[in-house]
Amino acid sequence: MPAIIKNNQVVDDQWTLLEADAQLEQALHTQQAIIPLALWQQHKEQLQAVQPLGIWLEAGQAIEDIVDDLTHFAVIALNFPAFTDGRHFSSARLLRERYSYNGEIRAIGDVLRDQLFFMQRCGFDAYAIRTDRCPTDALQSLTELSVTYQAAHDQSLPLYRRRSA
């Protein structure tokens, strides 16, 4: 089983990520499947019964497409086609801060150590580090900066409302 970072620890991943072209059958027969958005949209009726279920979105797919269904998902995985792509940084904040999603938000795809600090601030709590890299090594980035100016998922107030002179 591949290792992932979950809640600041390296653990064995219990979930199976299904490919973008996965079929309904596969989803129904896989324990703890993370299914592509398209599959959910096509077969919502049947998939609603599957528990637990995860879903994943491409970087160009908008979380607004799933916000009415959030209670069905134990995991929402957000794909990074490149480590330079920050679109889902916004998605994660919206899921947490606007849509009050409490399940796992997982970064998948081109996920490397140096994105993690920003990701955790945006609301990610799980990271499938690219398989050629060490998740244990990546853990260190989560604590690299000890002070942050902005309000975000991890910190509800900006520094200027926490500062004691």
Partner 1 sequence: MYIYDHYDQQIVEDRVKQFRDQTRRYFAGELSEDEYLPLRLQNGLYVQRHAPMLRIAVPYGLLATKQLRMLAHITRKYDKGYAHITTRTNVQLNWPALEDVPDILDDLASVQMHAIQTSGNCIRNTTTDQFAGVARDERIDPRPWCEIIRQWSTFHPEFARLPRKFKIAVNGCTLDRAAIEVHDIGLEALHNAAGELGFRVLVGGGLGRTPIVGSCINEFLPWQHLLSYLEAILRVYNRFGRRDNKFKARIKILVKALSPAVFAERVAEEWAHLKDGPITLIEEEVERVSKHFTDPAYLDLSDQDAELAALDVAHPGFARWRSRNVVAHKKPGYAAVTLSLKKTGIAPGDVTEKQLDTIADLADKYSFSEVRNTHEQNIVLADVEQSKLFELWEQLREHGFATPNIGLLTDIICCPGGDFCALANAKSIPVAEAIQERFDNLDYLFDIGNLDLNISGCMNACGHHHIGHIGILGVDKKGEEFYQVSLGGSSGRQASLGKILGPSFAQDIMPDVISKLIDVYIEHRTPEEQFIDTFQRIGINTFKERVYASNH
The dihedral over CA atoms of 159, 162, 163, 164, expressed in degrees to the nearest 10, equals: -170
* Residue 114 binding: pick among partner 1, ligand HEM, none (C-beta 5-8 Å cut-off by kind): partner 1
Single residue of 6, 93, 96, 106 touching partner 1 by CB under 8 A: 93
The site map against ligand HEM for 102-141 (x = CB under 6 A) is: -----------------------------xxxxxxx----
88 close to 115: Cβ distance less than 8 angstroms: no
| Residue 10 CB neighbours (<10 A) | 16
Classify each residue of 127-142 as buried b or exposed e, where b means 16 or more C-beta atoms within 10 Å of its C-beta. Answer: bbbbeeeebeebbebb
Q: How far is the CB of 117 from partner 1 (least distance, A)?
A: 7
Strand pairing report for 16-17 and 9-12: unpaired
| Residue 30 CB neighbours (<10 A) | 16
Q: In the range 35-54, which residues lie near ligand HEM by CB under 6 A?
A: none
Judged by CB under 6 A, the number of residues near ligand HEM is: 9
* Residue 89 binding: pick among ligand HEM, partner 1, none (C-beta 5-8 Å cut-off by kind): partner 1
* Residue 121 binding: pick among ligand HEM, partner 1, none (C-beta 5-8 Å cut-off by kind): partner 1
